[in-house]
Structure 1
Amino acid sequence: MTNLKKIMTGLLLTLALVSTTVMYAEEAPSPTPVTTVNPDVSPEILNLMVRHMSSDELFVEADGWLELLKESAKKVYDTKILVREKNVVIDAMKALDNNQTAAEEREAIQQKITVAKEEKSVILEEQTKLRAQRKTMVARLDTVLENINEKIGTDADGKELEKVLPYRHYIDTVSGISLEVTDAHSAWTTVSAWVMSDEGGIYWLINIAKFLAIIFMAMFISKLLSRGARKALEHTPSNSQLLNDFIANIIHKVVMLIGVLVALAALDVNVAPIMAMVGAAGFVVAFALQGTLSNFASGLMIMLYRPYDIGDVVDVAGIIGTVQSMTLVSTSIVTADNRLMVVPNNSIWGNIITNVTHSDTRRVDMTFGIGYDDNIEQAQKVMEQILSEHPLVLKDPAPTIKVNELADSSVNFICRPWVKTADYWTVFWEVTRTVKERFDEEGISIPYPQSDLHIIQQNAQIEKPENEHNKTTYTKKSHDTLDIKEMNVSDDQSQ
């Protein structure tokens, strides 16, 4: 009996404890929102009020603003119902008016129609105000949802999580303006009221004005900063023109990007998902544009090490021409025949780069040949005189004129004057022409390749061939000598 009493006592105590816990849980108040006390709070103040809250607390606030939004949306749809009811009454009165014949009854019906239209106009005005309140609730709920996204994050694609989507779906469902196209008066009243409301047309007009003002301001600031950076960099002689242009363009584009983002924010466009999507797509874009990124890296190396600059004549990737412009991806080169060649930077940096106009002076390498019978001293004096008289040939460094080769048909001189880089081809063409003319005047020959053919005849023994065919064998010896080694003729020829 004692044990039974103990067991019963324990069961009673356990039952009492469970009952107390359940009662406490039932009596414990559920959390209530604190930011909905003042529905007219501005989004900026609301954002500061919820900034410190955890995600659980934020969802409580979101539920509170959702309830206010539901109440506002219900009031809007209630006014729509009233407007439709008024339309039914007006249509019925118009139908009755058409069937009446007495003038007094018709006048009474017209007065009732006028009163109904006035009541309808009052309802439409109230509907406009309720829509503004609904838009206010949407903006407040949207502020709380943005803070929730910052607390709990988004998925890999930058989209909101499942917990937030029901709120968004409800906002999309009840937001916006739906027009009754069958009721011209209601549609016109709704549109005109929206255009003139602070939460409608005037609001968007102000936003569009802000957007355009920010864009124009960004354009002005970007050009101003880009121009200032370009002028400042021009005073740095160690920088190339390519690097200066690159830095100026980067400043211009960055300022414009910031301006566009700020302008979109002024239009109530949430740029956070856009930035998240751009970040998520960065890896895919980088993988798809491996070649472009390689050109990008090569462009940076070219700008940093400055193997050439704009206006230089270069020989890169098998192309000779003047550098016209350069981006991080490619270099534009204009050839001597005025063709524009766009060369990927990777093809340039991965090969030999020859900068023809890097130095202020260049050496013109020319070769002239004279005959073996001509006077070497006379020819050298003629070339020295030509170079000394030419106005574009530099005195320092002095020209070099030396016998360089005893060729097969000529004695070759090297003629190497120094000139300004811009005068290279002018000197090359004029000196070549003058040497030919002066050599002709001085009787100095400019030989061209020629060969002497020596034919050596030997005694030939005529024998009867073993067959009836002619058999003649020729052997070509060196030194251009044709030697007839053996000759056999037929019987008819021997007779």
Structure 2
Amino acid sequence: MHDLLADLHLSESSLRFALNLLFALLILVVGFWVAARVANVVQRALQRASVDPTLSGFLRNLVYGVLIALLVVTALIQAGVPQAPLAAALGASGLAIGLALQGSLSNLAWGVLLIIFRPFRVGDLVTVGGIDGTVEGISLMYTRLLLADNREAVVPNGKIGADAIINFNQRGMRRFELKVGIGYKDDIGRAMAEIRQLFEADARILKDPAPGVWTVNLGDSSVDLVVRAWSRTDDLWAAQTDLLRAIKERFDEQGISIPFPQRELTVVQGTLPAGTPPQA
């Protein structure tokens, strides 16, 4: 009789375990389907809200991953795995993964922030992480820059977030500065007037903010003028270099000198004192 009761109890336990395992598998099958549908709904909602495709894809995968994690935990509990050891194992695993991926998680977090707050966009000329370049692509982990000499730099987003970000395109226009020296015998007012005429002649130089020219220094061999003007960001390099050339050509036409450093030597002729040995 005792053996019969034991066999019945064992059969009941086996049946309960089989049912729990079946329910756990059912939870997984249905749960995977529901998680995929919920994640897709979230992604479509973000796309309708005009959220960046990279960010919407990341958030879709994040929602899906969280749902799958909860699904697996629920299935394990339903299958009869004790909750306390399971919670301890999950906590230890999460801590180990977090420590191992500390740098990657930092890059990921900054990637999300860069996509949300948009301090720069693809095509902008920037200085990030101490590197100057044009933004070619922004991902969740890295930002790709095209350098002036056609090299490509891949900068971790964590490094970008930990440093200053300088965006040269954000305002749409920039100021450039030139320094020009004229001779001490030249008319300063006339030189300034000639430069102002060049401002008016170049449509790429903006009139608001107004350009200007000032006297900034009396050097060893020249009176130094500083020229400051504004242009659209796309026209900056051409406007700056063309204006510098135009100033040189205009000064040459008007006889205004641009001196270069030089020294004047004064030779004094006379009779050497008696007894002075001749110099070699």
TM-score range, shorter-chain basis? 0.7 to 0.9
2:154 counterpart residue number? 342
In 1, Cα distance between equivalents of 2:21 and 2:165: 57
- Cα displacement (A) at 1:328: 3.6
- Root-mean-square deviation (CA, aligned residues, Å) is 4.3
Distance 1:26 1:61, change over 3 A: closer
- Supply the AA of the counterpart residue of 1:229: L
- Cα displacement (A) at 1:29: 5.5
Contact 1:371 1:445 in 2 (8 A): yes
In 2, Cα distance between equivalents of 1:461 and 1:300: 89
Distance 1:435 1:286, change over 3 A: same
In 1, Cα distance between equivalents of 2:44 and 2:241: 43
In 2, Cα distance between equivalents of 1:455 and 1:61: 122
Cα deviations by residue, 1:220-241 (Å, 9 ceiling, x for unpaired): x74x85465245236xxxxxxx
Contact 1:299 1:327 in 2 (8 A): yes
- Cα displacement (A) at 1:146: 7.6
In 1, Cα distance between equivalents of 2:18 and 2:273: 117
1:323 counterpart residue number? 135
2:260 counterpart residue number? 448
- Cα displacement (A) at 1:246: 4.4
Distance 1:226 1:438, change over 3 A: farther
229, 235, 242: which is aligned to 2:46?
A: 229
Distance 1:418 1:283, change over 3 A: same
In 2, Cα distance between equivalents of 1:231 and 1:453: 79
Contact 1:403 1:412 in 2 (8 A): yes
- Cα displacement (A) at 1:285: 2.3
- Supply the AA of the counterpart residue of 1:326: I
1:194 counterpart residue number? none
Cα deviations by residue, 1:433-466 (Å, 9 ceiling, x for unpaired): 2112211111112222222234557735537xxx
In 2, Cα distance between equivalents of 1:412 and 1:325: 43
Map 1:311-460 to 2 at 5 A.
311-455=123-267, 459-460=272-273
Distance 1:257 1:451, change over 3 A: same
1:18 counterpart residue number? none
- Normalised to the residue count of structure 2, the TM-score between the two structures is 0.73
- Cα displacement (A) at 1:305: 5.1
Map 1:36-75 to 2 at 5 A.
61-63=12-14, 65=15
In 1, Cα distance between equivalents of 2:268 and 2:48: 82
Contact 2:108 2:140 in 1 (8 A): yes
Contact 1:311 1:323 in 2 (8 A): yes
2:56 counterpart residue number? 248
1:284 counterpart residue number? 96
Contact 2:55 2:115 in 1 (8 A): no
Map 1:480-495 to 2 at 5 A.
none
Q: In percent, how many aligned pairs have the same letter?
A: 34
Cα deviations by residue, 1:320-377 (Å, 9 ceiling, x for unpaired): 1112222343221111222211112333233332221121221121122211122212
In 1, Cα distance between equivalents of 2:137 and 2:264: 56
2:76 counterpart residue number? none
Contact 1:315 1:354 in 2 (8 A): yes
In 2, Cα distance between equivalents of 1:245 and 1:453: 72
Cα deviations by residue, 1:145-190 (Å, 9 ceiling, x for unpaired): 588x9xxxxxxxxxxxxxxxxxxxxxxxxxxxxxxxxxxxxxxxxx
Contact 2:55 2:112 in 1 (8 A): no
In 2, Cα distance between equivalents of 1:392 and 1:28: 100
Distance 1:26 1:281, change over 3 A: closer
Contact 1:312 1:356 in 2 (8 A): yes
Cα deviations by residue, 1:181-238 (Å, 9 ceiling, x for unpaired): xxxxxxxxxxxxxxxxxxxxxxxxxxxxx9xxx6xx959x74x85465245236xxxx
Matched position secondary structure for 1:323? strand
Write 1 or 2 for the structure with the bigger share of strand: 2
2:75 counterpart residue number? none
1:158 counterpart residue number? none
Structure having greater relative contact order (Cα 8 Å, sep ≥ 6)? 2
11, 16, 20: which is aligned to 1:144?
A: 20
Structure number with bigger Rg = 1
Contact 1:317 1:348 in 2 (8 A): yes
Distance 1:142 1:424, change over 3 A: farther
- Normalised to the residue count of structure 1, the TM-score between the two structures is 0.44
In 1, Cα distance between equivalents of 2:54 and 2:136: 14
- Supply the AA of the counterpart residue of 1:233: S
Contact 2:175 2:230 in 1 (8 A): yes
Map 1:74-113 to 2 at 5 A.
none
Distance 1:443 1:322, change over 3 A: same
- Supply the AA of the counterpart residue of 2:227: C
Number of residues of Structure 1 aligned to a counterpart in Structure 2: 263
Matched position secondary structure for 1:372? coil
Matched position secondary structure for 1:403? strand
- Cα displacement (A) at 1:410: 1.5
Contact 2:220 2:261 in 1 (8 A): yes
Distance 1:455 1:302, change over 3 A: farther
Contact 1:62 1:145 in 2 (8 A): no
2:275 counterpart residue number? 462
- Cα displacement (A) at 1:282: 2.6
Matched position secondary structure for 1:397? coil
In 1, Cα distance between equivalents of 2:44 and 2:260: 60
Map 1:101-140 to 2 at 5 A.
none
In 2, Cα distance between equivalents of 1:27 and 1:335: 82
